[in-house]
Structure 1
Amino acid sequence: MVIATPPVSTMSRFVTSDGVGLAVELRHPEGAPSLLFAHGFGQTRGAWNAAATALAQEGCRCVSFDTRGHGESDRLPGGDYHMEQFVSDLVQLGNAQPSRPVLIGASMGGLIGLVVAGEIDPSLFRALVLVDITPRWETAGVERILAFMQAHPDGFADYAEAAEQIAAYLPHRAGRKSEEQLRPLLREGADGRLRWHWDPALLGGVVSESERYQPRLMAAAAKVQVPVLLLSGGRSDVVSRDTVGEFMQLVPHAEHVELPRATHMVAGDANDAFTREIARFVRSLA
């Protein structure tokens, strides 16, 4: 089913068991199947806008959200972030859906999905789509991302400066982000400078402990029983042939599709191909 008019998105607030409010966006509430989008570290639900809109137009119920400490979701006053909190949030959101959702998780979102599906609740998700992430990743690629995130602690004087820095970080992208595109990604501080939407405390919590979770993530992946699609970028420096090969041994029933022109930012680099592959995979589940 293809909807003639693009579905209008609606916003709501989902309050977790520990009182954290998450910003949740819903497209096509009556659609099916249900797709739950979990973004990567340092991103927002906006990373899924084009894909979620297109898939909602195909008839899917699309739910995206800002992870705690990101975007319009609440930050923790003490800044004490840990993986278990993100896992719990995803479980609660998954259980809140009217039917078993297909999880589409990019980077951090995909890793949290692996823990849920392989360790916490094997039946919560109908299937998993992992976007350019494997239980063991290439450290150099992640370090490059973190270096960019840590590079501007004092923020930017204006949107033009932020756009210039993003363009330098993503030189393969044509054009620069407009002020309208940047507004959801930046917050204006009391000093008038623009800083990233995510809580700086995340860099000392979730990130500092991430690599020690790799054995746990690999063990969880080996227990996943639902259908799995791994979408990787051919130009990614976060996953590689080695990490993908290792993942396929852990999850032999998984399907792997490489989008050759995409980097780690798969949805942003090759959204049309990305959306087509998800739509195909979702149709195959029926």
Structure 2
Amino acid sequence: MGMIETGVRVLRPEGFKHMAYTSWGDPHRREVVVCVHGLTRQGRDFDALAERLDHDLHRRVLCPDVLGRGKSDWLDDKSGYTYPLYLADMAALIARSGVESVDWVGTSMGGLIGLMLAATPNTPIRRLVINDIGPLVPWDGLARIGTYVGEDPLFPDRAAAEQRLKERTATYGPMPAERWPAFVDHSTRPDPQGQGLRLAYDPAIAQAFQAIEPGQPIDLWALWDRVQVPVLVVRGAESDLLPAEVLEEMKRRGPGCQTVEVPGAGHAPWLMSFDQMAPVLDFLKGHG
């Protein structure tokens, strides 16, 4: 049935907020995949993968814009851009789906949200795909992201926005050329003063990120050790957020994991070309 844009109201201390999401496939399907994006991105990054999951695997696919991104509401209380509240938002989305369990594909921040949910007792996650993040996130990679997260540049036109986006996403590896026009459209929003375009996120999402103690990695090994569902980890071969040694440790402990490495990509692979999507599709079929 293609794609529709919809949303769900999620409860925050300041009141209900609209979390936008795209829904792909027949809404009556009981096999559901939730795809969640990275820190500064939005749900339309998964258009190519959602199309495949719909057409090839006959899954219903839900791709939310985490609050403060894309077409979702921004928060008045900027301290609310935190993982515990994101987990509650995703629980509301899963409840909205009407199914008891879902498969999860998460890139970077979305992978950490999926990890946290999968480690929770009575988790609704059945299979977990983590794209280029792990339970130990090095400070060097965090510091690199900190150099740009929260930027709010004003682009005079679409060409200027595309150029900046190509610079900012260079580490992701090559994107299929036909995907660029839609990518730029979904990654930008009109400037409120009508002067041009801005990035499609609330710059205040940087506040929680900047609260990380300088020099310290994010350590979630205790959560990883509690995960009991099958896991596939995708790693960009040049990633600075998921070092090879962390991936090796992930294989040895906790639930263990299947892995695939994407050559020519850093953080984080696009999952837009078929060669990158194929291992994810195979894993979610249950053949992994």
Report what 2:191 is aligned to.
189
Q: CA 1:121 to 1:273, structure 2 compared with 1: closer, same or farther past 3 Å?
A: farther
TM-score normalised by the chain length of structure 1: 0.87
Q: 1:227: Cα distance to partner?
A: 0.9
Report what 1:46 is aligned to.
44
Q: Which moved more, 1:161-170 or 1:35-44?
A: 161-170
- Following the alignment from structure 1 to structure 2, what is the Cα–Cα distance between the partners of residues 177 and 225? 35
Q: 1:273: Cα distance to partner?
A: 2.1
Report what 1:111 is aligned to.
112
Counterpart secondary structure, 1:20: strand
Structure 2, unmatched stretches of 5+, are: none
CA deviation map 1:180-201 (0-9, x unaligned): 5322211222331322111111
1:53-92 to structure 2, matched below 5 A, reads 53-58=51-56, 59-80=58-79, 81-92=81-92
CA deviation map 1:42-99 (0-9, x unaligned): 0000110001111110111111110011110111112222221111111222233233
TM-score normalised by the chain length of structure 2: 0.86
- Following the alignment from structure 1 to structure 2, what is the Cα–Cα distance between the partners of residues 177 and 55? 17
- Structure 2 residue 242 is matched with structure 1 residue 242: no
Q: CA 1:178 to 1:49, structure 2 compared with 1: closer, same or farther past 3 Å?
A: closer
Of 18, 31, 55, 1:21 maps to 18
Counterpart secondary structure, 2:11: coil
Q: CA 1:178 to 1:233, structure 2 compared with 1: closer, same or farther past 3 Å?
A: closer
Contact 2:8/2:96 (CA < 8 Å) preserved in 1? Answer: no
Q: 1:32: Cα distance to partner?
A: 4.8
CA deviation map 1:201-235 (0-9, x unaligned): 110124523887833x2211110011111111112
1:94-243 to structure 2, matched below 5 A, reads 94-99=94-99, 100-118=101-119, 120-150=120-150, 152-171=151-170, 173=174, 180-191=182-193, 192-209=195-212, 214-215=218-219, 217-243=220-246
Q: CA 1:254 to 1:210, structure 2 compared with 1: closer, same or farther past 3 Å?
A: farther
- Following the alignment from structure 1 to structure 2, what is the Cα–Cα distance between the partners of residues 103 and 30? 18
CA deviation map 1:103-124 (0-9, x unaligned): 1111001111111111x34431
User: What count of residue pairs does the alignment treat as equivalent?
Assistant: 276
Q: 1:279: Cα distance to partner?
A: 1.4
Structure 1, unmatched stretches of 5+, are: 1-6
Counterpart secondary structure, 1:14: strand
Identity, in percent, stands at: 24
Contact 1:104/1:131 (CA < 8 Å) preserved in 2? Answer: yes
